[in-house]
Protein backbone atom coordinates (compact mmCIF):
# COMPACT_ATOMS: atom_id res chain seq x y z
CA UNK A 1 0.00 0.00 0.00
CA UNK A 2 2.78 2.40 0.92
CA UNK A 3 4.73 1.45 -2.23
CA UNK A 4 1.69 2.08 -4.45
CA UNK A 5 1.11 5.41 -2.73
CA UNK A 6 4.75 6.36 -3.30
CA UNK A 7 4.59 5.52 -7.03
CA UNK A 8 1.33 7.38 -7.36
CA UNK A 9 2.92 10.51 -5.84
CA UNK A 10 5.97 10.15 -8.06
CA UNK A 11 3.79 9.77 -11.15
CA UNK A 12 1.83 12.91 -10.22
CA UNK A 13 5.06 14.82 -9.65
CA UNK A 14 6.52 13.71 -12.99
CA UNK A 15 3.25 14.54 -14.70
CA UNK A 16 3.35 18.06 -13.25
CA UNK A 17 6.92 18.57 -14.49
CA UNK A 18 6.02 17.33 -17.98
CA UNK A 19 2.97 19.57 -18.10
CA UNK A 20 5.05 22.52 -16.88
CA UNK A 21 7.64 21.93 -19.63
CA UNK A 22 4.93 21.64 -22.30
CA UNK A 23 3.21 24.84 -21.10
CA UNK A 24 6.53 26.71 -21.00
CA UNK A 25 7.43 25.48 -24.46
CA UNK A 26 4.07 26.52 -25.90
CA UNK A 27 4.26 29.90 -24.15
CA UNK A 28 7.70 30.76 -25.52
CA UNK A 29 6.72 29.41 -28.93
CA UNK A 30 3.69 31.69 -28.91
CA UNK A 31 5.74 34.70 -27.77
CA UNK A 32 8.35 34.01 -30.44
CA UNK A 33 5.69 33.84 -33.14
CA UNK A 34 4.12 37.01 -31.79
CA UNK A 35 7.47 38.86 -31.92
CA UNK A 36 8.06 37.66 -35.46
CA UNK A 37 4.63 38.91 -36.51
CA UNK A 38 5.32 42.39 -35.16
CA UNK A 39 6.51 44.28 -38.21
CA UNK A 40 9.03 47.06 -37.99
CA UNK A 41 7.90 50.19 -39.81
CA UNK A 42 10.61 52.22 -41.53
CA UNK A 43 10.61 55.25 -43.80
CA UNK A 44 13.18 57.12 -45.87
CA UNK A 45 13.64 60.91 -45.93
CA UNK A 46 15.47 62.46 -48.90
CA UNK A 47 15.89 65.92 -50.42
CA UNK A 48 16.64 66.20 -54.13
CA UNK A 49 17.09 68.44 -57.16
CA UNK A 50 17.46 67.40 -60.83
CA UNK A 51 17.09 63.71 -59.96
CA UNK A 52 14.39 62.64 -62.45
CA UNK A 53 16.89 60.47 -64.33
CA UNK A 54 17.39 58.31 -61.24
CA UNK A 55 14.18 58.67 -59.23
CA UNK A 56 12.41 55.55 -60.52
CA UNK A 57 15.37 53.27 -59.88
CA UNK A 58 15.84 54.83 -56.42
CA UNK A 59 12.20 54.37 -55.39
CA UNK A 60 12.02 50.81 -56.74
CA UNK A 61 15.20 49.87 -54.89
CA UNK A 62 13.88 50.95 -51.49
CA UNK A 63 10.46 49.51 -52.16
CA UNK A 64 12.06 46.14 -52.88
CA UNK A 65 14.05 46.39 -49.62
CA UNK A 66 10.79 46.67 -47.68
CA UNK A 67 10.64 50.36 -46.77
CA UNK A 68 7.09 51.39 -45.89
CA UNK A 69 7.26 54.99 -47.08
CA UNK A 70 9.51 57.54 -48.82
CA UNK A 71 9.27 61.27 -48.08
CA UNK A 72 10.83 63.28 -50.91
CA UNK A 73 11.58 66.96 -50.36
CA UNK A 74 11.42 68.52 -53.84
CA UNK A 75 14.19 71.15 -53.95
CA UNK A 76 14.03 71.87 -57.71
CA UNK A 77 13.72 75.39 -59.07
CA UNK A 78 10.15 76.70 -59.35
CA UNK A 79 9.84 76.07 -63.11
CA UNK A 80 12.14 73.05 -63.25
CA UNK A 81 11.33 69.33 -63.60
CA UNK A 82 8.89 67.67 -61.19
CA UNK A 83 9.26 64.28 -59.50
CA UNK A 84 5.56 63.63 -60.12
CA UNK A 85 6.27 63.46 -63.85
CA UNK A 86 8.10 60.16 -63.24
CA UNK A 87 6.66 58.63 -60.06
CA UNK A 88 3.05 59.81 -59.91
CA UNK A 89 1.95 56.16 -59.69
CA UNK A 90 3.87 55.72 -56.42
CA UNK A 91 2.39 58.95 -55.07
CA UNK A 92 -1.11 57.69 -55.92
CA UNK A 93 -0.41 54.40 -54.13
CA UNK A 94 0.72 56.30 -51.03
CA UNK A 95 4.22 54.84 -51.03
CA UNK A 96 5.77 58.25 -51.81
CA UNK A 97 4.91 61.66 -50.42
CA UNK A 98 6.41 64.76 -52.06
CA UNK A 99 6.98 67.86 -49.92
CA UNK A 100 7.31 71.20 -51.71
CA UNK A 101 10.73 72.78 -51.06
CA UNK A 102 10.99 74.17 -54.59
CA UNK A 103 13.09 77.29 -55.13
CA UNK A 104 14.59 77.19 -51.62
CA UNK A 105 18.32 77.16 -50.84
CA UNK A 106 20.31 75.42 -48.11
CA UNK A 107 17.34 73.42 -46.84
CA UNK A 108 18.80 69.94 -46.26
CA UNK A 109 19.02 70.46 -42.48
CA UNK A 110 15.52 71.91 -42.41
CA UNK A 111 14.10 68.96 -44.39
CA UNK A 112 15.70 66.41 -42.02
CA UNK A 113 14.32 68.17 -38.94
CA UNK A 114 10.89 68.46 -40.54
CA UNK A 115 10.78 64.82 -41.61
CA UNK A 116 11.79 63.52 -38.19
CA UNK A 117 9.44 65.85 -36.31
CA UNK A 118 6.39 64.91 -38.39
CA UNK A 119 7.01 61.17 -38.73
CA UNK A 120 9.03 59.84 -35.79
CA UNK A 121 5.91 58.70 -33.94
CA UNK A 122 4.63 56.78 -36.97
CA UNK A 123 7.79 54.79 -37.74
CA UNK A 124 10.20 52.65 -35.72
CA UNK A 125 13.17 53.82 -37.81
CA UNK A 126 13.81 56.69 -40.24
CA UNK A 127 16.64 56.62 -42.82
CA UNK A 128 18.23 59.83 -44.13
CA UNK A 129 19.95 59.05 -47.45
CA UNK A 130 20.62 60.85 -50.75
CA UNK A 131 19.52 59.94 -54.28
CA UNK A 132 22.98 58.61 -55.13
CA UNK A 133 23.04 56.29 -52.07
CA UNK A 134 21.60 52.79 -52.41
CA UNK A 135 21.45 50.64 -49.29
CA UNK A 136 22.71 47.07 -49.70
CA UNK A 137 22.20 44.32 -47.12
CA UNK A 138 24.55 41.38 -46.70
CA UNK A 139 24.22 37.86 -45.28
CA UNK A 140 20.70 36.45 -45.24
CA UNK A 141 18.89 39.79 -45.01
CA UNK A 142 16.32 40.16 -47.73
CA UNK A 143 14.35 43.00 -46.16
CA UNK A 144 15.30 46.02 -44.08
CA UNK A 145 13.05 44.72 -41.29
CA UNK A 146 15.21 41.59 -40.97
CA UNK A 147 18.32 43.73 -40.54
CA UNK A 148 16.87 46.28 -38.10
CA UNK A 149 15.12 43.55 -36.11
CA UNK A 150 18.44 42.11 -34.90
CA UNK A 151 18.99 42.09 -31.12
CA UNK A 152 22.36 43.81 -31.51
CA UNK A 153 20.51 47.06 -32.27
CA UNK A 154 18.30 46.90 -29.18
CA UNK A 155 20.09 49.79 -27.42
CA UNK A 156 21.02 51.71 -30.58
CA UNK A 157 19.36 55.02 -31.40
CA UNK A 158 21.26 55.71 -34.62
CA UNK A 159 22.74 53.13 -36.99
CA UNK A 160 25.58 54.66 -39.02
CA UNK A 161 26.09 52.90 -42.34
CA UNK A 162 29.34 53.35 -44.27
CA UNK A 163 29.68 54.24 -47.93
CA UNK A 164 31.31 52.13 -50.60
CA UNK A 165 32.18 54.29 -53.61
CA UNK A 166 31.06 53.31 -57.11
CA UNK A 167 32.63 55.73 -59.62
CA UNK A 168 32.73 56.04 -63.41
CA UNK A 169 35.55 58.55 -63.86
CA UNK A 170 36.09 57.74 -67.54
CA UNK A 171 32.47 58.12 -68.70
CA UNK A 172 31.69 61.36 -70.54
CA UNK A 173 27.91 61.30 -70.96
CA UNK A 174 24.79 60.08 -69.20
CA UNK A 175 23.54 56.67 -70.32
CA UNK A 176 19.90 55.65 -70.00
CA UNK A 177 20.64 52.47 -68.02
CA UNK A 178 20.23 51.47 -64.37
CA UNK A 179 23.15 52.62 -62.23
CA UNK A 180 23.95 49.08 -61.10
CA UNK A 181 24.53 48.12 -64.76
CA UNK A 182 26.35 51.31 -65.73
CA UNK A 183 28.68 51.26 -62.69
CA UNK A 184 28.85 47.66 -61.43
CA UNK A 185 32.27 47.72 -59.72
CA UNK A 186 33.19 49.40 -56.45
CA UNK A 187 36.24 51.66 -56.31
CA UNK A 188 36.96 52.08 -52.59
CA UNK A 189 35.59 51.89 -49.05
CA UNK A 190 34.34 55.18 -47.66
CA UNK A 191 34.86 56.56 -44.16
CA UNK A 192 31.67 58.64 -44.38
CA UNK A 193 28.40 57.35 -42.98
CA UNK A 194 24.70 58.12 -43.29
CA UNK A 195 22.18 57.71 -40.51
CA UNK A 196 19.16 55.52 -39.85
CA UNK A 197 17.53 56.89 -36.71
CA UNK A 198 15.19 55.29 -34.18
CA UNK A 199 11.75 56.87 -33.99
CA UNK A 200 10.10 58.30 -30.88
CA UNK A 201 13.25 59.79 -29.34
CA UNK A 202 12.80 62.35 -26.56
CA UNK A 203 14.00 65.24 -28.75
CA UNK A 204 14.28 65.78 -32.49
CA UNK A 205 17.37 63.83 -33.56
CA UNK A 206 18.43 66.59 -35.97
CA UNK A 207 17.97 69.53 -33.56
CA UNK A 208 21.77 69.80 -33.13
CA UNK A 209 23.00 69.34 -36.67
CA UNK A 210 26.48 70.12 -37.92
CA UNK A 211 26.38 68.09 -41.12
CA UNK A 212 23.89 65.91 -43.06
CA UNK A 213 25.55 62.72 -41.82
CA UNK A 214 24.83 62.73 -38.09
CA UNK A 215 23.40 64.73 -35.20
CA UNK A 216 25.43 66.33 -32.41
CA UNK A 217 22.87 65.16 -29.84
CA UNK A 218 24.25 62.51 -27.48
CA UNK A 219 22.25 59.56 -28.79
CA UNK A 220 23.68 56.03 -28.79
CA UNK A 221 25.21 55.43 -32.21
CA UNK A 222 26.15 52.03 -33.62
CA UNK A 223 27.87 50.64 -36.69
CA UNK A 224 26.06 48.13 -38.90
CA UNK A 225 27.55 45.39 -36.67
CA UNK A 226 26.00 46.92 -33.54
CA UNK A 227 29.29 48.27 -32.16
CA UNK A 228 28.97 51.54 -30.21
CA UNK A 229 30.75 54.37 -32.08
CA UNK A 230 31.24 58.15 -31.86
CA UNK A 231 27.81 59.81 -31.87
CA UNK A 232 28.92 63.15 -33.41
CA UNK A 233 31.38 62.04 -36.09
CA UNK A 234 30.34 61.92 -39.78
CA UNK A 235 32.88 59.09 -40.16
CA UNK A 236 33.23 55.51 -38.97
CA UNK A 237 36.86 54.39 -39.09
CA UNK A 238 37.64 51.67 -39.95
CA UNK A 239 34.54 51.28 -42.17
CA UNK A 240 32.13 48.59 -41.03
CA UNK A 241 30.43 46.96 -44.01
CA UNK A 242 30.00 43.45 -42.60
CA UNK A 243 26.18 43.49 -42.64
CA UNK A 244 25.19 46.60 -44.63
CA UNK A 245 26.63 49.43 -46.69
CA UNK A 246 25.57 52.27 -48.95
CA UNK A 247 26.49 52.11 -52.62
CA UNK A 248 27.52 55.71 -53.17
CA UNK A 249 27.42 56.56 -56.88
CA UNK A 250 29.58 59.66 -56.44
CA UNK A 251 30.74 60.10 -60.06
CA UNK A 252 28.37 58.73 -62.70
CA UNK A 253 29.92 60.50 -65.71
CA UNK A 254 31.64 63.81 -66.50
CA UNK A 255 28.38 65.34 -67.75
CA UNK A 256 26.45 64.31 -64.64
CA UNK A 257 29.21 65.59 -62.37
CA UNK A 258 28.94 68.99 -64.08
CA UNK A 259 25.16 69.01 -63.46
CA UNK A 260 25.89 68.13 -59.82
CA UNK A 261 28.13 71.23 -59.55
CA UNK A 262 25.55 73.41 -61.32
CA UNK A 263 22.67 72.47 -59.03
CA UNK A 264 24.73 73.17 -55.87
CA UNK A 265 24.70 71.58 -52.44
CA UNK A 266 21.42 71.14 -50.57
CA UNK A 267 22.99 72.18 -47.24
CA UNK A 268 24.42 75.56 -48.39
CA UNK A 269 22.94 78.96 -49.28
CA UNK A 270 25.69 80.40 -51.46
CA UNK A 271 28.35 78.78 -53.62
CA UNK A 272 31.24 79.94 -55.79
CA UNK A 273 30.67 77.98 -59.01
CA UNK A 274 33.95 79.20 -60.56
CA UNK A 275 35.87 77.91 -57.55
CA UNK A 276 34.10 74.56 -57.76
CA UNK A 277 34.98 74.30 -61.47
CA UNK A 278 38.63 75.07 -60.64
CA UNK A 279 38.64 72.34 -57.99
CA UNK A 280 36.93 70.02 -60.45
CA UNK A 281 39.76 70.51 -62.96
CA UNK A 282 42.26 69.48 -60.29
CA UNK A 283 40.77 65.98 -60.57
CA UNK A 284 39.85 66.00 -64.27
CA UNK A 285 42.21 66.74 -67.14
CA UNK A 286 40.83 69.15 -69.71
CA UNK A 287 40.07 68.04 -73.26
CA UNK A 288 37.82 69.27 -76.09
CA UNK A 289 34.87 67.00 -75.24
CA UNK A 290 34.91 67.98 -71.55
CA UNK A 291 35.10 71.69 -72.34
CA UNK A 292 32.22 71.32 -74.79
CA UNK A 293 30.07 69.68 -72.10
CA UNK A 294 30.97 72.32 -69.50
CA UNK A 295 30.28 75.27 -71.83
CA UNK A 296 26.81 73.87 -72.55
CA UNK A 297 25.90 73.17 -68.92
CA UNK A 298 27.39 76.28 -67.28
CA UNK A 299 26.80 78.63 -70.23
CA UNK A 300 30.28 80.16 -69.73
CA UNK A 301 32.03 80.79 -73.06
CA UNK A 302 35.39 81.49 -71.40
CA UNK A 303 35.38 78.30 -69.35
CA UNK A 304 38.50 77.00 -71.09
CA UNK A 305 40.41 79.95 -69.58
CA UNK A 306 39.59 78.91 -66.01
CA UNK A 307 42.73 77.49 -64.42
Q: Is residue 1 over pLDDT 60? A: no
Identify the pLDDT of residue 103. Answer: 94
Identify the pLDDT of residue 34. Answer: 45
Identify the pLDDT of residue 30. Answer: 54
Identify the pLDDT of residue 73. Answer: 98
**pLDDT tens digits, one per residue of 58-67:** 999 999 999 9
| Domain boundaries, given as residue ranges, for the chain | 42-248, 256-305
Hey, which bits of 169-297 come out as E strands? 188-198, 221-222, 228-229, 244-248
Identify the pLDDT of residue 35. Answer: 43
Average pLDDT over residues 135-148: 94
DSSP 8-state class, residue 173: S
Q: What's the CATH fold of domain 42-248?
A: Spore Coat Polysaccharide Biosynthesis Protein SpsA; Chain A (3.90.550)
Q: Is residue 299 over pLDDT 80? A: no
Identify the pLDDT of residue 121. Answer: 98
User: Please, what sign has the CA dihedral across residues 158, 142, 66, 82?
Assistant: positive
Using an 8 Å Cβ cutoff, are 303 and 273 in contact?
no
Average pLDDT over residues 294-302: 78
Beta-carbon contacts of 241 under 8 Å, excluding residues fewer than 6 positions away, are: 138, 162, 164, 189, 224
Average pLDDT over residues 224-244: 97
Give the residue among 49, 266, 265, 250 at the shortest CA–CA distance from 134.
Answer: 250
Whole-angstrom CA distances from 53 to 49, 57, 159, 175, 256 are 11, 9, 29, 10, 10
Identify the pLDDT of residue 279. Answer: 74
Average pLDDT over residues 124-152: 96
Comparing 3-7, 32-36, 130-134, the range with the smallest average pLDDT is 32-36
What residues form DSSP beta bridges with 158? 197, 221
Q: Is residue 307 over pLDDT 80? A: no
Q: Is residue 201 over pLDDT 90? A: yes
**Chain-wide mean pLDDT for the chain?**
89
User: What span, in angstroms and rounded, lies between the C-alpha atoms of 64 and 75?
Assistant: 25
**pLDDT > 70 fraction of the chain, expressed in percent and rounded:** 84
Q: Is residue 187 over pLDDT 80? A: yes
Q: Kindly report whether the global pTM for this prediction surpasses the value 0.75.
A: yes
**pLDDT tens digits, one per residue of 116-134:** 999 999 999 999 999 999 9
Average pLDDT over residues 52-62: 98
- Kind and range of the H or E element at 114? helix 108-119
Residue 238: pLDDT band with limits 50, 70, 90: very high
Residue 33: pLDDT band with limits 50, 70, 90: very low
160: three-class secondary structure by DSSP: strand
Using an 8 Å Cβ cutoff, are 283 and 199 in contact?
no
Comparing 46-50, 192-196, 291-295, the range with the smallest average pLDDT is 291-295
Identify the pLDDT of residue 71. Answer: 99
Amino acid sequence: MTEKFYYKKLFKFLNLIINFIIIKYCYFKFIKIKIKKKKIKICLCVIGKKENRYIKEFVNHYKKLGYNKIFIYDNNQINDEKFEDIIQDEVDKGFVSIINYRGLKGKQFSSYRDCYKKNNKKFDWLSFFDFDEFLELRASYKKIQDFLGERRFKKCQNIKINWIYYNNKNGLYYENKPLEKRIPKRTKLGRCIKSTVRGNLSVNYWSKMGNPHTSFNKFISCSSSGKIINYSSPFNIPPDVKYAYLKHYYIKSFEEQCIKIQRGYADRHNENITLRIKNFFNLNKKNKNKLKIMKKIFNISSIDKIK
